Structure 1
Amino acid sequence: MVLSVLLNIMYRPPANLAVTAISVFNLVSMAISGRMEVQGKHLQYSKLQSNGTNNNNNENNKNKNVKIVEKAKVPSQLGMFVIYAPAFLAGVSSFALRPSGDLRFNLVRSAITTHFLKRVLEVLFVHKFSGSMDAEIMILLSVSYLLSALTMIYNQELVQGLPEPVIDLKYVGIAMFLLGIGGNFYHHFLLSKLRKDGEKVYQIPQGGLFSLVICPHYLFEIFGFLGISCICQTLYPLCFTVGSVFYLMGRSYATREWYESKFEDFPKEVKALIPYIF
């Protein structure tokens, strides 16, 4: 049943072992990352970044004369810019390298370019930053987003000229993508109003869907990824989206736990990601 539905809404995967392998790897690795978030093993950025080594461990290391190696740090704003800028440039470059393409191919790379342009502009003009982030995490995420953007565009180029899926979802995808980036930006804007530049004091977010979930920006980010998947209707974006759902569920769960630990008055009815459910 599921297979027959997929065959009606997706291009048949091209005979490209690399793209298939990357698709599966991306899905599995992001699902594992989501589980690690739930277990408290967070990617070291934003509010879930550890402030340092456990005090007991520090004392034990001193007693054992162990030399503690500090990880390289970069300012948070610079780190986030480096994370998103290469993927944006990859989207822009695709228009120069492949000036011609069918409607779906052009919609796909336009959506990817717009998605990362929005993120770059938010880093420069919307988000408020304090502190630093691990350079290692910056490089890891930057390479991950860059490879994802390149693979998505390349995968769509491979299916040009192949028979279209029985059910055309690209216009549904455009609507979902616009809803996703609009809702994501709105809630990022609300978050940016909670504190001034350089402030490290956190507050419980208010407005929009924050009365229902603590991470509505993640929810709308999923809508955006679903929109791109519907525009593409190929294997890799689907795997990327499903993997992102698993990861963002884990990240939002960890974020809710963080707020509960910091604020005694955190409203219990506010869920992590999906209103009234999760």
Structure 2
Amino acid sequence: MSTTIALVVRPRGKPIKNLPEETTVGREDSAAELYKLIAASSKISVHRLKITKGSDGSAIPNSSSVTVQDTGLRNKSTIDVKDLGPQISWRTVFVVEYLGPLIIHPIFYLLLTRPPSELQTISLLMIMLHFLKREYETLFVHRFSLATMPALNIFKNSAHYWLLAGVNIAFWTYLPSAPTAKAANPVFKYAGVAMFVVGELGNFSNHLTLRDLRKPGSTERGIPKGLGFSLVTCPNYMFETVAWLGILSVNWSLSTAIFAVAAVGQMAVWARKKEMRYRKEFGAEYKRKRFYILPGIY
């Protein structure tokens, strides 16, 4: 049996009803167990809590692989507990985000096209397949390192897909006067479809690789290897870019270009952060990448 220690508990920010002034936990217990103890005492969801050390404000992870002793807490140490407010699962947020284009595009396609052109139909199919794939990955492929996010974030996160990828692209793609209403250029049509297929398959392959780096219920990751990982930090973003360039080659819509630029810009920020994290986390074991998302460009 591990030696127990007493911790002084303080609220951080707004008061938390039923928060104990002190709690007892084993030195060899996991940090996740500490979260469960505080949650049970406070009668609040464990996902709403953030615990930090009173001495320096450093975060204590809600992790089963980190012990209380590993965090540096000792007998009579002080911990600060913050209520993060209502939370919602990352998986739910992703499902809702991607649902927007899946609802909006068929509605605009049916209402605006008279009759639909070949390019308008191909555009619809490509976008539907793209977001159906994302929904599938959300439900059956992705493993999330964090269980929840603030509930209100669902509105901010969904706006990007419901408005920019949904209403924005759909309206300008399915209008009778849109470039997609004209006769298809075989070169751009077939090249676009080919780029889309390569991009989606490559992206899916990368997501399977990334999933297998993390065991179920774990936040630990390994160094990704495989398709494209020797070229850039995040080949999944590279293939995502290729897929959207394929869609743009088919519909030649400024609205699609605007969404693609916004999406690639955000992915570039994420990719650079991931490269920095890999360098810090794995040190000399990790082969540093010169390009984060697009070989020879960025």
TM-score using structure 1 length: 0.69
Aligned to 2:43: none
Aligned partner of residue 210 in structure 1, secondary structure: coil
Q: 1:118 aligns with which of 133, 139, 162?
A: 133
Tell me: CA distance 1:56–1:118, structure 2 relative to 1, closer, same or farther (3 Å). Answer: farther
Which deviates more, 96-105 or 147-156? 96-105
Aligned to 1:179: 198
Aligned partner of residue 133 in structure 1, secondary structure: strand
- Equivalent-residue separation in structure 1 for 2:111 and 2:273 (angstroms): 41
Letter in 2 for 1:132: T
State the Cα deviation string for residues 46-101 of structure 1 (Å, max 9, x = none): xxxxx888979969xxxxxxx96624321222222122122222234445546741
User: 1:44-193 alignment to 2 at 5 Å?
Assistant: 70-94=84-108, 97=111, 100-130=115-145, 131-147=147-163, 148-158=165-175, 159-160=177-178, 169-193=188-212
Aligned to 1:273: 293
Which structure's relative contact order is higher, taking Cα pairs within 8 Å and 6+ residues apart?
Answer: 1
Aligned to 1:261: 280
* Identity of matched residues, %: 28
Tell me: CA distance 1:123–1:160, structure 2 relative to 1, closer, same or farther (3 Å). Answer: same
Aligned to 1:38: none
Q: 2:224 aligns with which of 195, 201, 205?
A: 205
- Equivalent-residue separation in structure 1 for 2:199 and 2:289 (angstroms): 24
- Equivalent-residue separation in structure 2 for 1:115 and 1:85 (angstroms): 11
- Equivalent-residue separation in structure 2 for 1:204 and 1:156 (angstroms): 40
Aligned to 1:42: none
State the Cα deviation string for residues 7-38 of structure 1 (Å, max 9, x = none): xxxxxxxxxxxxxxxxxxxxxxxxxxxxxxxx
Cα RMSD, aligned residues only? 3.0
Tell me: CA distance 1:96–1:193, structure 2 relative to 1, closer, same or farther (3 Å). Answer: same
Letter in 2 for 1:85: L
Tell me: CA distance 1:271–1:152, structure 2 relative to 1, closer, same or farther (3 Å). Answer: same
- Equivalent-residue separation in structure 2 for 1:163 and 1:92 (angstroms): 19
Per the TM alignment, residue 184 of structure 1 is displaced from its structure 2 partner at its CA by: 0.6
Count of aligned pairs: 221
- Please tell me whether Structure 1 or Structure 2 has the larger radius of gyration of its CA atoms: 2
Tell me: CA distance 1:104–1:201, structure 2 relative to 1, closer, same or farther (3 Å). Answer: same
Letter in 2 for 1:81: V
- Equivalent-residue separation in structure 1 for 2:136 and 2:200 (angstroms): 13
Tell me: CA distance 1:91–1:53, structure 2 relative to 1, closer, same or farther (3 Å). Answer: farther
Per the TM alignment, residue 110 of structure 1 is displaced from its structure 2 partner at its CA by: 1.2
Per the TM alignment, residue 239 of structure 1 is displaced from its structure 2 partner at its CA by: 2.0
Aligned partner of residue 196 in structure 1, secondary structure: coil
Higher strand share: 2
Structure 2: tracts of 5 or more residues without a match: 1-49, 59-80
- Equivalent-residue separation in structure 2 for 1:256 and 1:76 (angstroms): 23
State the Cα deviation string for residues 154-189 of structure 1 (Å, max 9, x = none): 101222486669896222211111111111111001
Which deviates more, 252-261 or 182-191? 252-261
Tell me: CA distance 1:149–1:56, structure 2 relative to 1, closer, same or farther (3 Å). Answer: farther
TM-score using structure 2 length: 0.65
Aligned partner of residue 211 in structure 1, secondary structure: coil
Letter in 1 for 2:194: A
